[in-house]
Amino acid sequence: MIKLTNVESINRDAPALILIPGGPGLSSSTLRSMDILSRSFNLFYVDFPGVNGTPYEGDKSFDELCSALESELLKINGTKFVLGHSFGGFFAANLSLKMKVEGVICLATPFTEKSLEVASENYTANKSQELSRAEEEWEKLQDDKSLAKWFSEYGKLYFVRPEGKEILLKDKVSAKFFLANRADAANIEPMLSLLKRDKTKKIFIAGKQDEMLPEAILKNDAELGGFNFVSVKDASHFVSFDQPEFVAGLIEDFMRQNH
Tally of domains within the chain = 1
The arithmetic mean of pLDDT across residues 93-98, rounded, is: 96
What is the reported pLDDT for 140?
Answer: 98
Asked whether the predicted pLDDT for residue 85 surpasses 70, the reply is yes
What is the reported pLDDT for 112?
Answer: 97
CB 153 within 8 A of CB 128: yes
Asked whether the predicted pLDDT for residue 62 surpasses 70, the reply is yes
Asked whether the predicted pLDDT for residue 84 surpasses 70, the reply is yes
The arithmetic mean of pLDDT across residues 133-141, rounded, is: 98
Asked whether the predicted pLDDT for residue 113 surpasses 60, the reply is yes
Rounded CA-CA distance 48/53 in Å is: 9
Range of the structural domain that residue 41 is part of: 3-256
| pLDDT single digits (tens) 166-206 | 999 999 999 999 999 999 988 999 999 999 999 999 999 99
Rounded CA-CA distance 107/239 in Å is: 7
Asked whether the predicted pLDDT for residue 15 surpasses 90, the reply is yes
What is the reported pLDDT for 39?
Answer: 96
What is the reported pLDDT for 122?
Answer: 96
CB 100 within 8 A of CB 37: no
| pLDDT single digits (tens) 162-175 | 999 999 999 999 99
Asked whether the predicted pLDDT for residue 226 surpasses 70, the reply is yes
DSSP string, the chain: --EEEEE--SSTTPPEEEEE--TTT--GGGGGGGGGGGGTSEEEEEE-TTSTT----S---HHHHHHHHHHHHTTS-S-EEEEEETTHHHHHHHHHHHS--SEEEEES---SHHHHHHHHHHHHHT--HHHHHHHHHHHHH-SHHHHHHHHHTTGGGT-SSTTHHHHHHT----HHHHHHHGGGGGG-TTHHHHHHH--SEEEEEEETT-SSS-HHHHHHHHHHTT-EEEEETT--SSHHHHSHHHHHHHHHHHHH---
Asked whether the predicted pLDDT for residue 213 surpasses 90, the reply is yes
Report the CATH number at residue 30. 3.40.50.1820
What is the reported pLDDT for 258?
Answer: 67
What is the reported pLDDT for 259?
Answer: 52
CB 134 within 8 A of CB 146: yes
The arithmetic mean of pLDDT across residues 38-43, rounded, is: 97
Asked whether the predicted pLDDT for residue 33 surpasses 60, the reply is yes
Question: Shortest CA distance to 48 belongs to which of 78, 26, 71, 29?
Answer: 26
Task: Give the confidence band of 66 by pLDDT, cuts at 50, 70, 90.
Answer: very high
What is the reported pLDDT for 12?
Answer: 84
Radius of gyration of the CA atoms of the chain, in A: 17
Predicted TM-score (pTM) of this structure: 0.96
Q: Cα 54 to chain center, whole Å? A: 18
What is the reported pLDDT for 11?
Answer: 86
What is the reported pLDDT for 257?
Answer: 85
